[in-house]
Structure 1
């Protein structure tokens, strides 16, 4: 039988099988949600990466700030960019090389800005912006000659906008007589709107569709076959509530909803950008989110922990651990770590943190106010820099002032006493072995270094009398004995060393291996040599006194010569009788530099040498060489033993001590207010603004007031006060934003569809009273995520069919009133995880220390980038536990609209790309999972005609209809399938099911 190859697999699925299924089953290509609206991620990218550069580098010559616009090109409006100037349009959306703006900033056609070429990462941002369609939220009508003069921010007028109004309670509409008893207060609001619009809502979806929707919405995984059987046998309200509670209590629920939070937190296991450094401890933040959601930690508390967890009190080490890890939220965004201008780097990080906090918790685009008052919302530049003072008083990076590449702060976390003790013992043993190896190697190198033969008397420094604390060393090669000593250039006048010996008689030798003296003379001449290591840091004025026989001489020794090994200096030649006493005292009194002493050598000269220049001895004694060779062999054996012991020791290393990518307040002396940066320029400073909050969000003071009990504000950043302000129940935005996101994940669309933008450029709420009622309920329940989710999924609205109704659609074509369920695609993670479940290969256990085996840099721009080897879709873990490497998201996941970790993503885009189905078909991993599913099916169900029902239950979580059976039979009897063995036939069919819209979408 023919076995499938990748090319034949795609070819067959693109031919015979598609021809069978595309018409009636809609398995590969179907109408998907329209995605014509601007992608919020692209809008955010423009606001954070493009607009600030235009303001800083282009507006001076190409905006209405100048009376003489260069080249008639206005770059301060969307229309001006596209209309262009004298040379034509500045940009062509989607065409990078055809855009004159790109050519100019590349310094190809012209050189813009003329003050200097923009950094490559900035140019790459512009290229990406144009490649993605050049989304520009600035008004196209905002063209030259039509612009109004800035009028300032009118806070009172701004507070009239719905989002800045206090959350208001509303009376629950009275249920109509014909409404079902199971309707909740949420249904009452929705049904009231439908009634006023004259729309009849859809009936419930099929019981299979309801369970599949609930399971994927709550856990991101398909329902088990046992759960399907149980639900089909008892589809009652009581049983539905029981299933809801079981799913909410599952670990899979916490993992799935943590992934939603990771989208907002722009989670990644690497930095990306210019220096794709490894986030070794980011996984702790991911697991913190999983733990918090599993325990139903109040949403307001998780917000406080993520902004100021390091400043919050704690009762247990576990609580302190979580609170420190939570602040990774502020750290995990992309940063230009190699930015040379550290002031700019700090302010760029501050801007990213302000933008993230604004959109994550208030759904406001605060980054727009960095360069000027917000164009659309009542947020002044002063409000922006009031927040900037808070985050600039927060330490986010190390190396902010001098290092070429900055990095984040590794903050120690609480650890168990046993782990701390294990590390102490491990580190002590490691250090002991390393020091022993270093010492043995140093001594071996000393033995291996060529040394002159030492005639006469040799006295090592260890035999001398030392006064004061001398430091032993073996750094310079060629030393005598076991090393040498130096004064460490300290304690001048308090350290001395004295050598003492008797001049040898003919035939005597010293204990250090000096050659025997055989010369006899009536009055012999002695040459006295001092061995030392020279260097430019040595002292040149070392005082010494030598007494030889009846003579005493005062000497000054100069050791300041160049050299790379121990040598000797002749102190002098004197006549003295055999047996006379010799004393040499060397001091560091008033010396400038290191004083180094190795050994003293005394050599008798014959008469022919009296007038010759001194030189090293020429011959070594044979016994010395023999001893040295024996010692070298012993050292080598000991070094190998120690290295083997160290290798074995490292294999039993304890779990590493925990650290977090946490923030901290700067020292009190550095916490201060931030000046307004005019046009966002770091070198164009205005007046400082007191640290504080957005004035439009309340009628009280927006300036942080110092707490008398904790000292003046200057001693802290203000993050704790910011966290308290955000989570105040009276805040107009925080609770609304939270419930709106939860509603979107369950209902397909937010009550405010622009979930990350509650400002004037966002959409208005479809059900404002319901939005506020949900916000009030969230606060009343203690900010419980699980309770709010439970209330929503118990509504009739949640369980409605997604079927179209022409009458209702004619009144409400966008389904704003929720007369039907929104048909929506599963997340990329759920699609992959579902295939793992169906194939029986999903490993449900968590993964810790995701990036442990990777060094500082996880990837770079080279073709052999490590990142290509970090992430493999064949990994059986849930997708949440796969590494997320910026710039290296697996193609299949990115094709299925996985979140871009460079950006905050409150709502993922749903692109209308039929190629997504073909990406699934072309995936080696999908083909593998389809084969494993086919093998399970064939092994468990012997008869081919009996396999249709189990394959549909496993893959699509429903029972097949007669039309489905006809499709399967048509494929199994086709010419292409007849050439395959039974496992391969089913593999092809299951792969087509995986690629189909019914598998990828929730009805």
Structure 2
């Protein structure tokens, strides 16, 4: 959980609650089911890229969505999207390769032969995902509360995605095949925002001038070409500076409402054009594009724009415009996000089509069947009581980002373009037959050609049992880390973990826990304290203080209060008065005494990054704002005072005393014995 930086809140500014507990359940279930470590790795890093991924494999990708998010007023979504990408890079190397990789963001590694540009070659693996630090935590998927319904929901979710992909192909092909006629006589006025026009590439574009106003409306009118009736209108939105936006995206927009009206030449009453459908340019849109026809947040480059975006509006019937009459397109823009940024289109253009294929699209049987699949499957999904989790999802090919080297690590100062994602030259190469994407990278991590992954994993499990890893610096297997005190042992266990144990974590733990070394007495033999204070010679069994979670669970178990229920939503055990003062509405509702939810194991305790559970913080648990490779154990008076006075421990002590008091022995000494 520390490695995954698991938390139930976003961190940073507002530190809002975020539903991620289904990933925690997946993690527990994976260990219980002894999921092979190689499969465990691949599913977390690239479960969404597996062929026909299951719902559980999608949940696994939440591992890389546990980065912090910031929607505090005035923050930049792109900055924190990039921050999340770099956190995924650093976490992947720290967890699976035991490398201090973060410093290479700014310069070549000072101790190991890893070059500055190689950091960004690896970052390119993670730079093509759909998440963008949005307040809504998109992309998310619905996960049934009832685990028995996971398969059903997974099939419905897959049906929706496949139908959306099929529609995306149909719409994209029709868009490319259409002979679009640019609107070159556009007139533009604005309500709330000033507009001007400029001729560009055969279009007359609209462009905003000065400051833009939230929820403003653009009115675009033009004389349509005479001849065949119009079957479709295409709206394209562009960055103000296209070249710069490819490097650093501009703030985007979304349409709250799009309307089309005929303005008669004689000045008579305008006639609204009934619109049937809005086709967007995204394979899996975050919002239903057709909401823009009804009113609400629908289509648009939300919240950033880095390339030309388009949508096509299809009228219910082909539009016939009498000579001299104009068409007016009304674009009602979005409101303000993050308390600072109006979602208003700043540059755009229109084109028209007379191709009857757009009208036929409305009744095309194949399209109707796909839309019905999306509608029916979505309704069935909504009928299943569910929560949501943020997941990884790749961008469609047309939306892929450029990855550049950041000069001195500054995300605003872009250097050379990275052509292909890759791993540092120091390490084994990704096979030539493998695809250079997240899935190829994940498979490379657990391939026989990369033995470091098994060494790092074995060392970490050894650390959990013995208190110190064979490599003491579990976070640094590089030249600046501590050398293994028994390299032959580490190599032997790593090879056997891969081959003999077939990546079985339980078999590895059984091997360690049943060894004569682990089962030794922890009593220090005469003279060994001076000779081997840190027990590097393994002359005695391990002796270490309970972790934060173990201390609380031990008290619950001894008192008889512990609830052994597994899985489910986070719990809120008792905390001292005055501790819980979150930045926003995030109530800590402790169940009443006697309620089993009050006494659940600590792994289910709600974890807020800005206000960690006090007992855990006292016993050295990290905040999980970033990946934590090992806990540095302390021994302080505050820990003793917590056990004596904390409300949760006090309740456990009283329960234990009550249980002892009811024992049939007549004296306290006999009761204790």
- Give the structure-1-normalised TM-score: 0.42
Q: Deviations over 1:9-33 (max 9, x none)?
A: xxxxxxxxxxxxxxxxxxxxxxxxx
Structure 1 residues 659 and 697, CA gap change in structure 2 (3 angstroms)? farther
Within 1, Cα distance between the matches of 2:265 and 2:648? 76
Query: Paired residue for 1:374, among 104, 109, 113?
Result: 109
Within 2, Cα distance between the matches of 1:718 and 1:872? 50
Structure 1 residues 860 and 274, CA gap change in structure 2 (3 angstroms)? farther
1:346 corresponds in structure 2 to: 81
Residue 768 (structure 1) shift:
0.2
SS in 1 for 2:405: strand
1:357 corresponds in structure 2 to: 92
SS in 2 for 1:775: helix
Q: Is the 8 A contact 1:305 1:323 kept in 2?
A: yes
Q: State yes or no: 1:737 paired with 2:475.
A: no
Structure 1 residues 887 and 356, CA gap change in structure 2 (3 angstroms)? same
2:67 corresponds in structure 1 to: 333
Q: State yes or no: 1:277 paired with 2:12.
A: no
Q: Is the 8 A contact 2:590 2:598 kept in 1?
A: no
In the TM superposition, 1:742-821 aligns within 5 A as 742-780=461-499, 781-821=501-541
SS in 2 for 1:395: coil
In the TM superposition, 1:69-148 aligns within 5 A as none
Q: Is the 8 A contact 2:518 2:542 kept in 1?
A: no
SS in 1 for 2:124: helix
Structure 1 residues 411 and 942, CA gap change in structure 2 (3 angstroms)? same
Q: State yes or no: 1:928 paired with 2:651.
A: yes
Q: Is the 8 A contact 2:580 2:611 kept in 1?
A: no
Q: Is the 8 A contact 1:697 1:731 kept in 2?
A: no
Q: Is the 8 A contact 2:548 2:619 kept in 1?
A: yes
Q: Which runs of 5+ in 1 are unaligned?
A: 1-261, 400-404, 424-490, 495-535, 544-554, 561-586, 595-652, 708-712, 853-858, 951-1003
2:139 corresponds in structure 1 to: 409
The structure 1 segments of at least 4 consecutive aligned residues displaced by more than 4 Å after TM superposition are: 412-423, 491-494, 536-543, 555-560, 587-594, 704-707, 859-865, 867-874
Structure 1 residues 923 and 377, CA gap change in structure 2 (3 angstroms)? same
1:397 corresponds in structure 2 to: 132
Q: State yes or no: 1:664 paired with 2:398.
A: no
2:441 corresponds in structure 1 to: 722
SS in 2 for 1:397: coil
2:34 corresponds in structure 1 to: 296
- Give the structure-2-normalised TM-score: 0.62
Q: Is the 8 A contact 2:404 2:418 kept in 1?
A: yes
Residue 923 (structure 1) shift:
1.0
SS in 1 for 2:415: strand
Within 2, Cα distance between the matches of 1:825 and 1:305? 33
Structure 1 residues 917 and 397, CA gap change in structure 2 (3 angstroms)? same
Within 2, Cα distance between the matches of 1:926 and 1:743? 30
Q: State yes or no: 1:940 paired with 2:663.
A: yes
Q: Deviations over 1:739-783 (max 9, x none)?
A: 001111111211011111111221110100000000011011110
Within 2, Cα distance between the matches of 1:539 and 1:695? 60
SS in 2 for 1:752: coil
Within 1, Cα distance between the matches of 2:69 and 2:56? 24
Structure 1 residues 673 and 706, CA gap change in structure 2 (3 angstroms)? farther
Residue 811 (structure 1) shift:
2.4
2:43 corresponds in structure 1 to: 305
Within 2, Cα distance between the matches of 1:655 and 1:741? 39
Q: State yes or no: 1:322 paired with 2:56.
A: yes
Structure 1 residues 340 and 422, CA gap change in structure 2 (3 angstroms)? closer
Q: Is the 8 A contact 1:851 1:883 kept in 2?
A: yes
Q: Is the 8 A contact 2:665 2:671 kept in 1?
A: no
Q: Deviations over 1:627-676 (max 9, x none)?
A: xxxxxxxxxxxxxxxxxxxxxxxxxx964246432111111134466221
Structure 1 residues 822 and 654, CA gap change in structure 2 (3 angstroms)? same
- Tell me how many residue pairs correspond in the alignment: 461
Q: State yes or no: 1:680 paired with 2:409.
A: yes
Structure 1 residues 850 and 656, CA gap change in structure 2 (3 angstroms)? farther
In the TM superposition, 1:681-720 aligns within 5 A as 681-698=410-427, 700=429, 705=432, 718-720=437-439
Structure 1 residues 361 and 556, CA gap change in structure 2 (3 angstroms)? closer
Residue 867 (structure 1) shift:
4.7
Structure 1 residues 265 and 864, CA gap change in structure 2 (3 angstroms)? closer
Q: State yes or no: 1:875 paired with 2:598.
A: yes
Structure 1 residues 695 and 272, CA gap change in structure 2 (3 angstroms)? closer
SS in 2 for 1:900: coil
Within 1, Cα distance between the matches of 2:419 and 2:88? 18
Residue 905 (structure 1) shift:
2.0
Query: Paired residue for 1:900, among 614, 623, 626?
Result: 623
Within 2, Cα distance between the matches of 1:390 and 1:941? 66
In the TM superposition, 1:822-837 aligns within 5 A as 822-837=542-557
1:886 corresponds in structure 2 to: 609
1:114 corresponds in structure 2 to: none
Within 1, Cα distance between the matches of 2:155 and 2:530? 71
Q: Which moved more, 1:766-775 or 1:832-841?
A: 832-841
Within 1, Cα distance between the matches of 2:539 and 2:262? 92
Residue 349 (structure 1) shift:
1.2
Higher helix share: 1
Within 2, Cα distance between the matches of 1:421 and 1:663? 18
Residue 893 (structure 1) shift:
1.8
Q: Which moved more, 1:385-394 or 1:338-347?
A: 338-347
Within 2, Cα distance between the matches of 1:860 and 1:676? 42
Within 1, Cα distance between the matches of 2:17 and 2:412? 32
CA RMSD of aligned residues (A): 3.7
Q: Is the 8 A contact 1:398 1:409 kept in 2?
A: no
Structure 1 residues 885 and 416, CA gap change in structure 2 (3 angstroms)? closer
Within 1, Cα distance between the matches of 2:667 and 2:532? 47
SS in 2 for 1:790: helix
Structure 1 residues 851 and 308, CA gap change in structure 2 (3 angstroms)? farther
Q: Deviations over 1:415-464 (max 9, x none)?
A: 568779999xxxxxxxxxxxxxxxxxxxxxxxxxxxxxxxxxxxxxxxxx
Structure 1 residues 686 and 945, CA gap change in structure 2 (3 angstroms)? closer
Q: Is the 8 A contact 1:337 1:407 kept in 2?
A: no
In the TM superposition, 1:170-209 aligns within 5 A as none
Structure 1 residues 758 and 684, CA gap change in structure 2 (3 angstroms)? same
Structure possessing the higher radius of gyration over alpha carbons: 1
Residue 361 (structure 1) shift:
0.6
Residue 948 (structure 1) shift:
4.4
Higher strand share: 2
Structure 1 residues 337 and 369, CA gap change in structure 2 (3 angstroms)? farther
Within 2, Cα distance between the matches of 1:542 and 1:922? 83
Q: Is the 8 A contact 1:379 1:694 kept in 2?
A: no
Q: Deviations over 1:876-921 (max 9, x none)?
A: 1111112111112121221012232112222212112122101221
1:949 corresponds in structure 2 to: 672
Within 2, Cα distance between the matches of 1:422 and 1:396? 22
Q: Is the 8 A contact 2:77 2:132 kept in 1?
A: no
Structure 1 residues 816 and 683, CA gap change in structure 2 (3 angstroms)? same
1:201 corresponds in structure 2 to: none
Q: Is the 8 A contact 2:263 2:328 kept in 1?
A: yes
1:443 corresponds in structure 2 to: none
Residue 346 (structure 1) shift:
2.6
Structure 1 residues 847 and 872, CA gap change in structure 2 (3 angstroms)? farther
Structure 1 residues 411 and 862, CA gap change in structure 2 (3 angstroms)? closer
